[in-house]
Amino acid sequence: MVTNGDRLRGGGADVTALDVDAARVALIAENLQRLSRTARLCVGDARDPATFWDGVPFERILVDAPCSSTGVIRRHPDIKLLRRPGDVPAFAAMQLAILRAAVTMLSPGGRMLYSTCSVLREENERVVAALIAAEPSMRPVALPAPWRVPGAIEQAPGVQLLPSGAAGTDGFYYACVEKATTGS
* Burial tier of 119 (Cβ tally within 10 Å: 0-12, 13-18, 19+): buried
Binding segment for ligand SAM among 20-28, 103-111, 126-134, 146-154 (CB under 6 A)?
20-28
Residue 21 binds ligand SAM (CB under 6 A): yes
Per-residue string for binding with ligand SAM, 41-80, x by CB under 6 A? ----xxx----------------x-x--------------
Task: Please report, for residues 15, 101, 107, 147, 175, the alpha-carbon distance to residue 56 in angstroms, rounded to integers and kept in the order given.
Answer: 12, 14, 9, 29, 24
| Residue 56 φ/ψ, nearest 5 degrees | -85, 120
Least Cβ distance, residue 47 to ligand SAM (angstroms): 5
Residue 19 binds ligand SAM (CB under 6 A): yes
In terms of CB distance, is 18 or 152 closer to ligand SAM?
Answer: 18
Binding segment for ligand SAM among 18-26, 71-79, 159-167, 175-183 (CB under 6 A)?
18-26
**In the 8-state DSSP scheme, what is residue 144?**
P
Rounded Cα–Cα distance for residues 117 and 108 (Å): 28
Query: Where do contacts with ligand SAM occur on this chain (CB under 6 A)?
Result: 18-21, 24, 45-47, 64, 66
